[in-house]
């Protein structure tokens, strides 16, 4: 008997910008170079030029749509996948919807923007991660269990991927001694993709609007 409302898409531009930043940080090996300089080493690693590459966007909601827009803005091609693709949504997002296996094989960057459900849990398991292009970048700002983390760790440690940018994890907070944190080629943030002053303002405003709508007898964004 309790009405539950959420805030769908309210901070989509904020979260997409964070995913975009993670992609860049991995491509330019920002944390690796920073760590080397702090250690007194003038060491260098090849970086990835993103312009002209292909971004595979998994999820066709507001965050995925904003991520596709940002990627196109720097000259990337965009593929998309969702559980329920339509031509109309493909046109709105500016992506070509393809089967998931094809997206994984063709994309230089794969970015996940899905909610966690029984259907999406471990969407990228060991088999799917094995389909990723050698040297690909994986970004996840959705939910940690969308990816089989142990399989991702193995792919990273084997050098199959350029790296991963992760804001979410199978276990949060990330435990001490985490295998993913020990990987050299990752950029990690503690589930904070929408934690900007603007993002928090949008969330707070949305909560107030939901409460007022409920008190007015017209609940909105109801999920139950």
Residues with a catalytic annotation lie at 143, 172, 191
Give one DSSP letter per residue of 195-219, joined into a string.
-SHHHHHHHHHHHHHHHHHHHTT--
Q: What are phi and psi of 24, to 5 degrees?
A: -65, -40
Whether 15 contacts 61, CB under 8 Å: no
| Tokens 């999920």 found at | 223
Q: Which of 140, 108, 103, 179 is nearest to 22 (CA)?
A: 140
Contacts of 114 (CB under 8 A, 6+ apart): 58, 59, 61, 120, 123, 142, 143, 146
Q: Which of 68, 66, 82, 25 is nearest to 48 (CA)?
A: 25
Measured at the CA of 222, the angle between CA 221 and CA 223, to 5 degrees, comes to 115
**Both tokens assigned to 28:** 């330019």
Interatomic CA distance for residues 7 and 79, integer angstroms: 26
């Amino acid at each position: 008997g309790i009405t539950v409302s959420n805030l769908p898409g309210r901070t989509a531009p904020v979260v997409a910008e964070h995913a975009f930043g993670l992609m860049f940080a991995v491509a330019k090996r920002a944390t690796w170079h920073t760590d080397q300089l702090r250690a007194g080493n003038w060491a260098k690693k090849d970086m990835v030029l993103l312009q002209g590459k292909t971004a595979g966007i998994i999820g066709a909601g507001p965050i995925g749509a904003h991520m596709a827009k940002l990627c196109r803005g720097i000259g990337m091609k965009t593929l998309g996948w969702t559980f329920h693709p339509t031509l109309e949504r493909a046109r709105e997002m500016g992506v070509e919807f393809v089967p998931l296996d094809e997206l994984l094989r063709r994309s230089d960057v794969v970015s996940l923007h899905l909610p966690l459900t029984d259907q999406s849990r471990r969407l990228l398991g060991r088999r799917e991660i094995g389909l990723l292009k050698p040297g690909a970048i994986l970004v996840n700002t959705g939910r940690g269990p969308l990816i089989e983390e142990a399989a991702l760790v193995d792919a990273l440690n084997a050098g199959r991927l350029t790296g991963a940018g992760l804001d979410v994890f199978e276990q949060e907070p990330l435990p001490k001694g985490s295998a993913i944190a020990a990987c050299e080629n990752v950029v990690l943030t503690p589930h904070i993709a929408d934690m900007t002053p603007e993002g928090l303002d949008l969330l707070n405003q949305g909560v107030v609007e939901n409460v007022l709508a409920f008190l007015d007898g017209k609940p909105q964004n109801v999920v139950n």
